[in-house]
Chains A and B, each alone.
Chain A
Amino acid sequence: GDSVTQMEGPVTLSEEAFLTINCTYTATGYPSLFWYVQYPGEGLQLLLKATKADDKGSNKGFEATYRKETTSFHLEKGSVQVSDSAVYFCALSDLRGGYQKVTFGTGTKLQVIP
C-alpha cells in the first residue's frame, strides 16, 4: 500500500538558517504530493502541493519539488523564522476506487530559536 516516510524530529534551527525536511513516498499509482503545517492547538493547513513529476510547489518561502526518480518531496526554506515553528506533515493523495485516498507521514516538529 501507499506510505509516506518523514525524517524524525524534532528539528531545531537558529533563526535565518536553511531548512530541509526530508520526505519519501511509496505509491502504486501517480499520486499528488502535499505539505501541511500544524501550529500548536490548531488543525492542519495546506502549505503547498505538486500534482505531477518535476512540479515545484511553493508558498510563504517554502518549496518542494516532486522527484519521481527518487520518490521524494523534500521541504526547503532558505531562511527560517521563529514563526515557522510548527509540525510539518508530508502527504500523498492517490486514487482508490475512483476517489482520493490521502496518506500522511507522522510529522516533523520544527523549532526555530532566536
Chain B
Amino acid sequence: NAGVTQTPKFQVLKTGQSMTLQCAQDMNHEYMSWYRQDPGMGLRLIHYSVGAGITDQGEVPNGYNVSRSTTEDFPLRLLSAAPSQTSVYFCASSYSMGTDGGYTFGSGTRLTVV
C-alpha cells in the first residue's frame, strides 16, 4: 500500500538507551519530516529533509539525529533517551517543496522513556 510506514508502533526505553525510529515512503516524495506530538502543544518539527543527502533542523532538534541516504527512508535516531522525549512521533512526507503540498503522515510511534 502506498504511503508512509513507521516502525515500531510502540517502544519503551530506559533512560540513556539509544534507538532508531524508522520511516519509509513509497510515493517518491522529496520532502520528509519528523514531528513530535505532545498534549496541548500540537506538532513540533524535529528535523526535515528536502532530498537525499540534505537535512536540516526544525524547532526541537536537540537529542535527535537524522540522515537521508535514499529518497525512500528517513530514520530518526535518539542518541541517549531522556524522559522528556516521551512522546508520539510522526513521520510525514510531501510531494511539493512549495506551499501547496499537503503532508502524508505515518501512523506514529508511541515512545515511553522510563
Contact = CB atoms under 8 A, between A and B. Distances in A.
A43 B99 contact: no
Contacts of A99: 31, 48, 50, 97
**In this complex, which of B94, B96, B99 has the most chain A Cβ atoms within 10 angstroms of its Cβ?**
B99
Contacts of A77: none
A95 B43 CA distance: 18
Contacts of A76: none
A45 interface: yes
A102 B31 CA distance: 12
B40 to A, nearest CB: 6
A93 interface: yes
Contacts of A42: 107-108
Nearest to B49: A99
Nearest to B94: A100
Interface size class of A (residues with CB under 8 A): 20 to 34
Contact of B42 (A49, A93, A105): A105
B2 to A, nearest CB: 14
Given A89-B43, A100-B31, A106-B41, A43 B102 contact: no
A102 B45 contact: yes
B97 A51 contact: no
Nearest to A98: B97
A93 B102 CA distance: 9
A73 interface: no
A100 B96 contact: yes
